[in-house]
């Protein structure tokens, strides 16, 4: 999935919001910043793998934040399933 697809989707931003979306089964795809510390991103990667949710990890925190329309960096974001 690309940043453009993220921009044009319903999404949540941030590690906690992304984790909540995964727990509720609402996440269709997860973006994890490539420059995110492994200590932080490791558990999220595992959670995605367990739930069968695809992960994209090719963008930086700055790129993710910009794509989500926020003025700060973002470690993670999740595209939500359409209802």
The CATH number of domain 3-80 is 3.40.50.720:
no
The answer to whether residue 1 scores a pLDDT higher than 90 is: no
- Per-residue pLDDT tens over the stretch 2-53: 999 999 999 999 999 999 999 999 999 999 999 999 998 999 999 999 999 9
Q: What pLDDT score does 83 carry?
A: 65
Residues forming a β-bridge with 12: 78
The torsion angle over the Cα atoms of residues 71, 42, 53 and 50, rounded to 10 degrees, is: -150
Q: What average pLDDT does range 51-59 have in this prediction?
A: 96
Contact 27, 18 (CB under 8 A): yes
Question: Which residue did the predictor score with more confidence, 60 or 1?
Answer: 60
> In the block, which residue shows the tokens 């999740």?
78
- Where exactly are the structural domains of the chain? 3-80
């Amino acid at each position: 999935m690309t940043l453009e697809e993220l921009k044009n989707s319903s999404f949540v931003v941030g590690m906690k919001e992304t984790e909540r979306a995964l727990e509720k089964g609402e996440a269709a795809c997860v973006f994890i910043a490539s420059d995110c510390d492994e200590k932080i991103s490791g558990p999220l990667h595992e959670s995605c793998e367990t739930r069968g949710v695809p992960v994209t990890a090719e963008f930086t925190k700055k790129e993710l934040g910009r794509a989500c329309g926020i003025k700060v960096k973002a470690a993670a974001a999740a595209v939500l399933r359409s209802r």
